[in-house]
Structure 1
Amino acid sequence: MKHLRILTAGIALACASPALANDDLVEKMSDPTQWAIQTGDYKNQRFSELDQINKENVGDLQVAWTFSTGVLRGHEGSPLVIGDMMYVHTPFPNIVYALDLANEGKIVWRYEPKQDPDVIAVMCCDTVYRGVAYADGKIFLHQADTTVVALDAMSGEVVWEQVNGDPSKGETNTATVLPVNDKVLVGISGGEFGVRGHVTAYDIETGEQVWRAYSMGPDEDILMDPQNTTHLGEPVGENSGTNTWEGDQWMIGGGTTWGWYAVDTDENLVYYGTGNPSTWNPSQRPGDNRWSMTIMARDIDTGMAKWVYQMTPHDEWDYDGVNEMILTEQEIDGEERKLLTHFDRNGIAYTMDRVSGELLVAEKYDPAVNWTTGVDMDPESDTYGRPEVVAQYSTEQNGEDVNSTGICPAALGTKDQQPAAYSPETQLFYVPTNHVCMDYEPFRVAYTAGQPYVGATLAMYPAPDSHGGMGNFIAWDNINGEIKWSIPEQFSVWSGALATAGDIVFYGTLEGYLKAIDAETGDELYRFKTPSGIIGNVMTYESDGKQYVGILSGIGGWAGIGLAAGLTNPNDGLGAVGGYAALSDYTALGGQLTVFALPD
């Protein structure tokens, strides 16, 4: 009955509105037997109504089948399942496979783009890719070289393609795209190369550009109406994207958009976050550096911003704000509200009204976070909504560089892009986290197009005075702003979580374990070690009446860049090589999809 109700609701939604190119995606997202979008649904909840696998029997899971991708780099994202077809992607060179689930996983087609391998040198933190998207009978691939390709979902033939950026300037891609209404929304990577971030909408049918919204710059570039776009309830005012930058520094200002998107179809709004300002040396870019490190709420059709919220003004630590926004309807202070919850790299979990942009909750989701005492929550204060910085952990004093030690979290944040999950049954969020601190040494750096524009040397290590590991998997109450339970892990949890109606939560570990956890208690119910470390996102689907759980394994990403790229200098990988050196004692390179099911 659960399945019937959800499917009926999805069809009703599609029929109630004018026909749009993504109507069949809306219907497929509402069918729990499929996995039609990387985030599970437009709300980014990563929750499945499937309950054949549950906390009573999950301990009996077995490997049902496996598939080698043929690529040995970091495997992020997950496969999609549309009908009887599964679509599997790889990191660079971004191969796409279509597998027939009704015919023993036979490869129906493969798409192998021909990309210039020079793009690898300008990819910040491994050659990862977070997965393809589906809509309107097409598979959408955003290649590392920023070419956006629409493929026929049944044949693999190219329908259209567009170039979204210029790798010679450091513009690359690691993120998935979002089909919504009659558009495909596409971001850009390259904040460590002085790229100015933007989100672009392309027409689903033709690939023609509809709008582009930059993260910073003149009002017409960032698509902001000075009087009708708000920040914490107040109009942003004219030139908000330039007047907190020195001179024309905004032109190489970062704020790239390599994270996830969420959609409220009723409000016709898309939500996403922007990344770090360039350079990492804060003394070279005085001011708040708007609108880097910002949650954006934009109209899907026009791109115009309705509201924004800058989480880390004048970032000094590389706390990109690109992590996913998770949309819920919950009661807070006795009132049912449409909420947005965001676990930021800066270590603070935010709960906001997603219609108005009102800030409701802002609390640390790792006790180790020390760079700030917290966010000023007094609406009457001049510093309302700003984090209160602890001077000891600042990397700039009076416009001068400062070498700071013991900063928590490290630059990779209390959580990076690895997405959390939400269960409407427990009303808890299940969050993969990093429990890592750093030493930070800024230095002066000059901008040259296509060359690194970082300006900092980092060293990373486990948070002191704790469990000795580098990660936790937590359950979070977004209304009260508190951890309900926490599972310590030896390494950061770099895998996206999945919650299900079977009262279980799945996640993967950097050593390569797929784990199943009791959603209420956090008790471990199952573990299986896959061939390589897991930085992919767990997904589930049903085929021929049977539920399956799938996960990509293949060590890499920022945490695993040492293994993925064969690096040994502890300062390489922006400090991650030294911090995660022990990973090589537990796992090796790989590229495999592992699919689990209960025995017949």
Structure 2
Amino acid sequence: MEGISRTYPGRMHIAAMHPSTQEKSWMTALQHLKRKGAIMALAFLSTTTLVSAAEVTYERLLNPEPGNWLTNNRTYDGNRYSPLDEINRDTVKGLKVAFTVPLAPPSVGAGSFSSSLQGTPLVEDGIMYMSDGWGRVYRIDMTKGDRGFINWIMDPQTDPEFATGILNNRGVALYGNNIYSLSPDGAFIATDKETGEVKFRVETQQNPAEYFSMAPLAINGKIIIGPAGGDGPMRGRLEARDPETGDLIWTFYTVPGEGEAGHETWENNAWETGGSATWVTGSFNVARNELVWGIGQPYPAYSPKERPGDNLYSNSTVALDADTGKLKWHFQYTPNDSWDFDEVGSQQLYNAKVNGEDQLLLGHFGRNGFFYNLDGTNGAYVNGEQYVDRVTWTKGLDPKTGKPVEYTPNGGVQTYLPETRLDASVFTTEGADKSYCPFIEGGVNMFPTTYSPRTKLVYGLAIQGCAFNQAAIPEDEYLTGSVSAVDTATGKVAKRLDLTSAPKGGAFSTAGGLVFGTSANGDLYALDDETLERVWTFNVGTMIDAPPMTFQINGKQYIAVAVGPGGVGMNFEKYPARAKDENAKSMANFQQASTLYVFSL
């Protein structure tokens, strides 16, 4: 129930001891009491001595130490850039596996998907905190540099009946002495980062269609969260919650209600179940005290006739006052969408010279196939360019407004290009002759992109391909990929690297002149940030869904990636099998192994 905090006294089970009969009975009873509000998460402690770390203050989050990765995108601007340079163009060829840490196997909820690893681990002074798709949180001590000890696992005891969606938990937040996480069934949990004790658990699920996958964002005195589930009849929102109690501070509904600006863009009362979920972590403009967030597609996703109007704030970037949650500005990429073009992906803040003048920009690789530079102070369109090979849903963007050239601002149902306009999902037998480009996931989906201040380029890993009815996919239609480097001043693609496999996971860049990325064929790779030449590759033997990251222990740089593909990639779109690769048939047999890989020189 929203706004109600429940605090539980955390119980720890020592892994080296066998539970007594009484303890077994206690643990069994907890399972039965969970949905009545009496459950606490369990922390499983190993016998390893815990290494203490300093409090994670707002000041540290503003200016993270070079060797640490303290928040989802490392810095609030969303740019996923690291100042570390020990691993660089000259040394990267010596990069090798330092150690691995096996993690819990996938779990299955009420939906048809098994859990996967899509999160970015956080590292503070050699201690890693990460979550898996079932919402379990791990504390991994890596301070020895050649192995990782799992100190504890906080298990939220996710209820399979309430874990209704795609089980892709994308990470945790560090703030104070706590780890903040979301379970797939909607529990907002604070866990002591040293002991694994649960400080509080607040149930936030309002609707059975909701599930939760976002990595929370910690800012000054607030933890920002929100639900996924926009593929079902729900109403999206962002919430700010108190880090001490979990109490609700404010709510911003991504589908405006009666009397709110934008409500008129939902005809037929479609606003009540308009989707527009918030399932990926946004950015924070510190100077302007604005949260900058990407919003998902409207519901029903493929039936624009059922919800005439622009359907604000679906498919948009919104900027909110961080103190009040009030809307400051917005930009909508695809009004009255029918192609599932969520725009939840990276919202990157940087400065560039546009027409000779310094300007704060927000850069975004649209899932709809276009890159956008927006004015970072008001959301006005500045410039951009198509970055995928094929776009068939529109003939292009208006150079002044950034809207599709066919867009008419009169409400009702947009026509765009009718031959690609869906009235039913591509996952049904209806509309079997309809296809559209880019692919249903883009372009760039939610997988994070990166900006390097070294090159003034922003890098996005894109799927190249089109969407077809599942019963009518042409045999010669592959899902390939690309890495596009966009000039931040012009919004134009400066360089591109083509890939034979669809990219998944995401990217980050470094002061060592490198961009690290991942692919569905299991490749973790490093690119020269100027030429995009591939200078290092390691294949993990199964699909990678999670973005890589970097950190430092005792002056030594490491690269880490969580490997654990789930139902969407492995069984849904069959990315490896649809690759333009001579080994694609074998890659269709990739396994759902769950392992943390750590690399060093």
Aligned to 1:148: 188
| Residue correspondence of structure 1 range 386-401 to structure 2 within 5 A | 389-395=416-422
Cα offsets for 1:468-495 (capped at 9, x unmatched): 5521122122332322222222321111
Look up the match of 2:545.
535
Instruction: Kindly indicate whether residue 125 of structure 2 is the aligned counterpart of residue 83 of structure 1.
Output: yes
SS in 1 for 2:497: strand
Is the Cα–Cα contact under 8 Å of residues 460 and 578 in structure 1 kept in the other structure?
no
Q: 2:47 matched to 1:26?
A: no
1:141-184 residue CA offsets vs partner (Å, 9 max, x unmatched): 111011010111111111222112146x2110111111111100
Q: Is the 8 A contact 1:22 1:179 kept in 2?
A: no
TM-aligned CA distance change 1:50 to 1:396, over 3 Å: same
- Give the whole-Å Cα distance in 2 for the aligned partners of 1:436 and 1:521: 24
Match status 1:161 vs 2:183: no
Q: How does 1:341-352 map to 2 (within 5 A)?
A: 341-352=363-374
Corresponding residue number in structure 1 for 2:137: 96
> Does residue 151 of structure 2 align to residue 108 of structure 1?
yes
- Corresponding position: 1:54 with 2:97: no
Label 1:460 to 1:286 Cα distance change in 2 as closer, same or farther (>3 A): farther
Distance verdict in 2 for CA 1:388–1:59, change over 3 Å: farther
Amino acid at match of 2:518: G
SS of 2:434's partner is: strand
When residues 216 and 431 of structure 1 are mapped into structure 2, their CA distance, relative to the original with a 3 A threshold, is same
Shift of 1:587: 2.5
Structure-1 residue corresponding to 2:257: 218
From 476, 479, 482, give the equivalent of 2:492.
482
Matched, 1:310 2:326: no
Structure 2 SS opposite 1:559: helix
Q: 1:130, 1:176 within 8 Å by CA — same for their partners in 2?
A: yes
Paired residue for 2:171, among 120, 131, 140? 131
Distance 1:391 1:382, change over 3 A: closer
Partner of 2:212: 173
User: Do the aligned partners of 1:375 and 1:388 also contact (CA within 8 Å) in 2?
Assistant: no
Residues 1:191 and 2:230 aligned together: yes
User: Are 2:299 and 1:299 aligned?
Assistant: no
Q: Shift in Å at residue 462 of structure 1? A: 9.4
Alignment TM-score, normalising by the size of structure 1:
0.82
The answer as to 2:393 corresponding to 1:371 is: yes
Assess if the C-alpha contact under 8 Å between 1:327 and 1:341 holds in 2: yes
Shift of 1:506: 0.6
C-alpha distance in 2, partners of 1:511/1:68?
20
1:433 to 458, 462, 487: 462
Partner-residue secondary structure (3-state), 1:346: coil
Cα deviation, 1:224-247, whole Å, max 9, x if unaligned, reads xxxxxxxxxxxxxx6433212223
- Give the partner amino acid of 2:340: D
Match of 2:501 in 1: 491
How far residue 403 of structure 1 moved from its aligned partner, in angstroms, is: 5.5
Matched, 1:119 2:162: yes
Structure 2 vs 1, CA of residues 313 and 459 (structure 1 numbering), >3 Å: closer, same or farther? farther
CA distance in 1, matches of 2:78, 2:236: 22
SS at match of 1:291: coil
Is contact 2:422-2:434 (8 Å) kept?
no
Aligned equivalents of 1:388, 1:363: Cα separation in 2: 22
Cα distance, 1:106 vs. partner? 2.2
* Distance in 1 separating the partners of 2:548 and 2:56: 27
Q: Could you tell me which runs of 5 or more consecutive residues in structure 1 were left unpaired when the two chains were aligned.
A: 1-19, 220-237, 441-456, 563-572
* Residue pair 1:437, 1:460 contacting (<8 A) in 2 also: no
Matches of 1:557 and 1:293, distance apart in 2: 25
- 2:278 matches 1:278: no
In structure 2, the CA distance between the partners of 1:52 and 1:406, relative to structure 1 (3 Å rule), is same
For residue 559 of structure 2, what is the amino acid of its counterpart? Answer: V
Q: What secondary structure sits across from 2:133 in the alignment?
A: coil
For 1:458 and 1:425, locate their aligned partners in 2 and report how far apart those are by CA, in whole Å: 46
The secondary structure found in structure 1 opposite 2:161 is: helix
Partner of 1:357: 379
List runs of 5+ in structure 2 lacking aligned partners: 1-54, 107-114, 409-413, 425-429
CA shift in 2, pair 1:308/1:582, >3 Å: farther
- Deviation, 1:287, is 1.7
Shift of 1:463: 9.3
| Deviations 1:432-486, CA, capped at 9 Å, x for gaps | 111120135xxxxxxxxxxxxxxxx78667996xxx5521122122332322222
Distance 1:23-1:247 versus aligned 2 partners, 3 A rule = same
Q: Partners in 2 of 1:248 and 1:106 — Cα distance?
A: 53
User: What displacement does 1:59 show?
Assistant: 0.7
Cα 1:24–1:381, aligned 2, differ >3 Å: closer, same or farther?
Answer: closer
2:284 and 2:307 mapped to 1: Cα distance?
33
Contact kept? 1:411, 1:438, Cα under 8 Å: yes
Q: Do 1:38 and 1:78's aligned partners in 2 also have CA atoms closer than 8 Å? A: yes
Matched residues in 2 for 1:294 and 1:128: separation? Answer: 22
> Take 2:492 and 2:349, find their aligned partners in 1: how far apart are those partners?
18
- 1:50 aligned partner, one-letter code: L
Could you tell me how far apart the structure 2 residues matched to 1:239 and 1:300 are?
18
1:98 partner SS: strand
Distance apart, 1:208 and its partner CA: 0.8
Residue 98 and residue 461 in structure 1: after superposition, are their counterparts in 2 closer, same or farther (change >3 A)?
farther
- Alpha-carbon distance in 2 for matches of 1:524, 1:46: 19
Q: Counterpart of 1:251 in 2: which secondary structure?
A: helix
Question: What amino acid does structure 1 have at the position aligned with 2:288?
Answer: E
Please state whether the residue corresponding to 2:545 is helix, strand or coil: coil
2:63 is the counterpart of 1:42: no
Equivalent in the alignment of 1:451: none
**Paired position in structure 2 for 1:74:** 116
Contact 1:458 1:574 survives alignment (8 Å)? no
Please give the secondary structure, in 2, of the residue aligned with 1:558. Answer: helix
1:201, CA displacement in angstroms?
Answer: 0.4
The CA distance in 1 between the partners of 2:156 and 2:479, in whole Å, is 39
**Distance verdict in 2 for CA 1:380–1:351, change over 3 Å:** closer
Does 2:588 correspond to 1:594?
no
Matched letter for residue 331 of structure 2 = Y
> What is the identity, as a one-letter code, of the residue corresponding to 2:593?
G
Deviation at 1:273, TM superposition (A): 1.3
Report the Cα distance in structure 2 between the residues aligned to 1:574 and 1:458, rounded to whole angstroms: 12
Q: Are 1:335 and 2:349 matched, yes or no?
A: no
1:117 match: secondary structure: coil
Check 1:48–1:575 CA distance in 2 against 1; reply closer, same or farther (3 A cut): closer
SS in 1 for 2:483: strand
Moved more, 419-428 or 283-292: 283-292
> Is the 8 Å Cα contact of residues 178 and 190 (structure 2) preserved in structure 1?
yes
Deviation of the 1:344 alpha carbon: 1.4
Could you tell me which amino acid in structure 2 is paired with residue 117 of structure 1? P
Contact 2:126/2:552, CA 8 A, preserved across alignment = no
- Alpha-carbon distance, 1:36 to partner: 0.6
Q: Helix, strand or coil for the counterpart of 2:212? A: coil
**Which digits, 9 at most, give the CA deviation of each residue in 1:196-239, with x for residues without a partner?**
100000011221100001111326xxxxxxxxxxxxxxxxxx64
Deviation at 1:310, TM superposition (A): 1.2
Paired residues of 2:68 and 2:124 also in contact (CA < 8 A): yes
568, 577, 580: which one aligns with 1:558? 568
**Residues of 2 paired with 1:362 and 1:458: CA distance?**
35
* Displacement after TM superposition at 1:552 (Å): 0.9
Distance between the aligned counterparts of 2:493 and 2:511, measured in 1? 21
Aligned-residue RMSD, C-alpha: 2.7
CA contact (8 A) 1:363 1:482 kept: yes
**328 and 469 in structure 1: CA distance in 2 versus 1, 3 angstrom threshold:** same
Q: Percent identity?
A: 30
SS of 2:568 mapped into structure 1: coil
